Structure 1
Amino acid sequence: MRSSQHPSGPHGLSASRSAGHPPTLSGRLSRGADHRLRTVRGAALGMTLACPRPGQVIGPRGALGGFVSSVALGVAGVAAATQTDMTDAVAGTEQLLPGWFQPLFLALVLGGSVTNSIVTLYSSSLNLQALGVPWRRSKAIAISAAVTAAGSLCALFLTDFTSSLLSFLSLLITVFAPWGGVFLTDMLMRRCHYDPPALHAGPDGAYWYRSGYHPAGVAVLLVGMAFAALTCDSELWTGPLVVPLGGADLTLLGSLVSGLVYWMLARRAVAPHTDPS
């Protein structure tokens, strides 16, 4: 896929095409914190993961903390659903709380929604810049906020918001499933070993491929998306293969299809980076 001086991945779409553009998230990670984090690039669209330095691993305490907190929240939600109608999670939870705590609960819900929206809008502006859109960060955030507000108002007053959201999310899997398959396959083939300087080297880097695009990554992503679209069963779109398959929704298998095909096409060209030193 696309790579440049501020790439979003070895095979991902380009970030900034000139030094004058604001730095991307990948650039911040690879240069920040005294290089304590190493950037790992996606094989399909732009995505950046922070990997520890060689020899460092995620400790059992960190993994246990994330696991316990996630399970605790899940158990709390299941327990709440046994006591009240959780169709509306906020209203249902409010009925289980004492009266004095309800105003604080609503304030926490509102504050959490606002902070989550801020992070989401900031991430949206990064994605626009990663696609090569020549906008300043502030302008990208403002436009993202305007589009989001317009879409939310339409969903609230013109349609049922929950149904519209779920229908939209059900279609995203047709893109994210094959993208995830290619990304994870590339990361496994490289054993999470990438060359950070080469990621920012532009045409002189090892990840530039053909005019900044990796043919195998682009082809496999399109193949996976086509498979997912043909087997997707959602309210907004039903693929032509759903009925012959007896109503089965095989969208998630798009990740396996794209991962397998990517391995077949790129296994001779993709290898872990080795540090000469």
Structure 2
Amino acid sequence: MSDMPLIPEEAIAPASVPDAVPASAPHPDPSLSDSAARPETRGIELIDDRDRHGRARDLFAVWAAPNVSVLNFTIGATLIVLGLELWQAVLVIIAGMLPWVLTGIIAISGPAAGTSGSVVMRAMYGIIGNRIVVAFMGWLVAAVYLALNWLAAAFLGADMLARLGWDAPVAAPIVVTVVVAAITVLVAVYGHGLILRAYTYVAILLLGIFLVLTGFILPNVDWGYRAAEPLSGVALWSAASIGFAIIASAPLSYINSPDMARYLPRTTKPGGIIAATAFGGALPGIFFMIVGALMATAVSADELSAGVEGVMLGMMPAGLAPLLVFGVIVNTVALNGMTTYTSSMALQAIGVPLRRIPAAAVVGVIGTALTIYLTLSTTFLNAVNLMLQFLIIVAAPVMAIFVVDVLLRRNRYDGLDLFDERRGSRFWYTGGWGVPGMAAFALGTTASALCLSTEVWTGPIAQAMGYIDLSVPVGTIVAAVVYVALLRTRLGAQGRPWAE
């Protein structure tokens, strides 16, 4: 992925703009208009050209706010726990952030189709097949990220309550989770308009908070740090590859990037969308993961295993502890608000008969339940490592297929055709199944699982290679190659993007 060639602008040109609608024509449904001042009722419904607004650069803050996160400190610290030297950890962090380019590429399908990415994916998997993939990928991503971020807020919030006198190891995390989840769902209910307007201020606020915290971490850093037992050979590649998989799982999981871009005018330049999305997500991630790696040089592995949040609290004055808790909660609401928002549309795309707002509430309840379970059964560090690694099994192939389809189709997606679910429709394919897409998904996930290396599961290929984790590159390459190859056979005759 790091050697990915530059993509010609004409290969991802936006779909042609339809004839202009007279200004005097009545709006098809005023209740669906996008506003920060009222709940957004629109779900996966097509966005009328008169409702399109915004600029590509607005997406930078939309992606920066969720990624100024304590999760990045945790992942950065993990690289040191794995045994990497500081310079090696920095290289792994940069490499793991490169897939943000792929997140940006699929984002351009949102304005082209005028609907959610979970609907656009019907072009890859067929009307029925897409329900399976979206249910699997959309719900897995939603559950993982809602739980991981609420988990951070739960642990930190409970620690703060204990400092204030309420030491309740079971009840406190649950109470914090429920309160934060309620605020998160409220953000998702107001939806895109609120996210677009508020996240610029949220990103600035969070950047200020975490820079202040960074100022207390840096004096504790062991700038001459050397691993007690420097890794080399297979052991080094194993640690680096596991770290890469954990980091890359984040950008590869954001198949919801078209959802956040779908309100942009059709004429918005694809290059601007790609750049704003990729840099918005990658830059804060790179910076704060490096800070997390530096922080890990000042403490023992046992202290880190007990919780990165506790290490951070111990490095700052007691009076500033609420600042960290506040920052984590704001970031949690920002990231999970977006995740809940887009997951509510994934529910609609798989055919659940709910409007978007009730669907958001359902997503919130499921995420809350998983978070409460994790607070009672694991540490934050263990949860992050295991869940992010398992997520990659599905995320890498799905992202690869989406990117390939956008490029082969030259970003030409007809929203009306995507919503035609009748037998024989354009994306009905073979009995409702897009065979090339489904086969690529199945083989890509299988290949990724065979190359995965975790404490719970190590695939036979990873084990044979000395626990080197190639789940990301192998899952991505297998899915992309199988998809393109099958499109050239009789099985893919109905769905060849280049034949349109």
Distance 1:227 1:66 in 2: 27
Shift of 1:70: 4.4
Which residue, 376, 398, 408 being the options, matches 1:179?
398
Q: Does 1:162 align with 2:375?
A: no
Which residue, 54, 71, 75 being the options, matches 2:287?
75
CA change 1:59–1:107 in 2 (3 A) is same
Which residue, 31, 56, 66 being the options, matches 2:269?
56
CA change 1:135–1:80 in 2 (3 A) is closer
Which residue, 343, 348, 354 being the options, matches 1:124?
343
Which residue, 453, 459, 463 being the options, matches 1:243?
463
The answer to whether the Cα contact below 8 Å between 2:453 and 2:463 also exists between their aligned partners in 1 is no
The answer to whether the Cα contact below 8 Å between 1:224 and 1:258 also exists between their aligned partners in 2 is yes
Shift of 1:220: 1.7
* 1:260 counterpart residue number: 481
The answer to whether the Cα contact below 8 Å between 2:112 and 2:412 also exists between their aligned partners in 1 is no
Distance 1:75 1:55 in 2: 29
Shift of 1:99: 6.8
Q: Which has the higher helix share?
A: 2
In terms of mean alpha carbon deviation, does 156-165 or 180-189 score higher? Answer: 156-165
Distance 2:49 2:309 in 1: 39
* 2:411 counterpart residue number: 192
Shift of 1:82: 3.5
The amino acid that maps onto 2:271 is I
The amino acid that maps onto 2:45 is G
* 2:421 counterpart residue number: 202
The amino acid that maps onto 1:185 is V
How many aligned positions are there? 251
Shift of 1:122: 2.8
Provide, for residues 232-254 of structure 1, a one-character-per-residue CA deviation record: whole Å limited to 9, x for no partner: 22223222333333333221111
CA change 1:213–1:81 in 2 (3 A) is closer
CA change 1:192–1:68 in 2 (3 A) is closer
Distance 2:384 2:291 in 1: 25
The answer to whether the Cα contact below 8 Å between 1:182 and 1:217 also exists between their aligned partners in 2 is yes
The answer to whether the Cα contact below 8 Å between 2:439 and 2:482 also exists between their aligned partners in 1 is no
The CA RMSD over aligned residues, in Å, is 3.6
The answer to whether the Cα contact below 8 Å between 2:389 and 2:454 also exists between their aligned partners in 1 is yes
Percent of aligned pairs with the same amino acid: 26
Which residue, 355, 372, 384 being the options, matches 1:153?
372
Shift of 1:261: 1.0
The amino acid that maps onto 2:275 is A
In terms of mean alpha carbon deviation, does 233-242 or 80-89 score higher? Answer: 80-89
Shift of 1:143: 3.2
The answer to whether the Cα contact below 8 Å between 1:198 and 1:206 also exists between their aligned partners in 2 is yes
Distance 2:455 2:277 in 1: 37
Provide, for residues 117-176 of structure 1, a one-character-per-residue CA deviation record: whole Å limited to 9, x for no partner: 333223332222222222344443333323222221221122323313321221111111
In terms of mean alpha carbon deviation, does 71-80 or 110-119 score higher? Answer: 71-80
The answer to whether the Cα contact below 8 Å between 1:231 and 1:238 also exists between their aligned partners in 2 is yes
Shift of 1:55: 7.3
Shift of 1:69: 8.3
Match of 2:460, SS state, is coil
Unaligned runs of 5+ in 2: 1-39, 54-110, 126-132, 135-254
Q: Which has the higher contact order (CA 8 A, sep 6+)?
A: 2
Distance 1:176 1:260 in 2: 16
Distance 2:278 2:469 in 1: 31
Unaligned runs of 5+ in 1: 1-21
Distance 1:32 1:260 in 2: 36
The answer to whether the Cα contact below 8 Å between 1:231 and 1:249 also exists between their aligned partners in 2 is yes
Provide, for residues 202-251 of structure 1, a one-character-per-residue CA deviation record: whole Å limited to 9, x for no partner: 22632221233212211221111222222222223222333333333221
The answer to whether the Cα contact below 8 Å between 1:199 and 1:205 also exists between their aligned partners in 2 is no
Distance 2:277 2:446 in 1: 39
Which residue, 200, 217, 230 being the options, matches 2:437?
217
CA change 1:98–1:65 in 2 (3 A) is farther
The amino acid that maps onto 1:221 is F
The answer to whether the Cα contact below 8 Å between 2:449 and 2:471 also exists between their aligned partners in 1 is yes
Distance 2:466 2:285 in 1: 36
Scaled by the length of structure 2, what TM-score is found?
A: 0.43
Provide, for residues 183-206 of structure 1, a one-character-per-residue CA deviation record: whole Å limited to 9, x for no partner: 111111111112222112222632
* 1:8 counterpart residue number: none
* 1:38 counterpart residue number: 112
In terms of mean alpha carbon deviation, does 70-79 or 184-193 score higher? Answer: 70-79
Distance 2:377 2:352 in 1: 31
Q: Does 1:27 align with 2:30?
A: no
Match of 1:38, SS state, is helix
In terms of mean alpha carbon deviation, does 207-216 or 40-49 score higher? Answer: 40-49
Match of 1:154, SS state, is helix
Scaled by the length of structure 1, what TM-score is found?
A: 0.72
Shift of 1:103: 3.5
Provide, for residues 11-47 of structure 1, a one-character-per-residue CA deviation record: whole Å limited to 9, x for no partner: xxxxxxxxxxx9874434x436545732272324445
The answer to whether the Cα contact below 8 Å between 1:230 and 1:240 also exists between their aligned partners in 2 is yes
Distance 2:376 2:465 in 1: 37
CA change 1:201–1:109 in 2 (3 A) is same
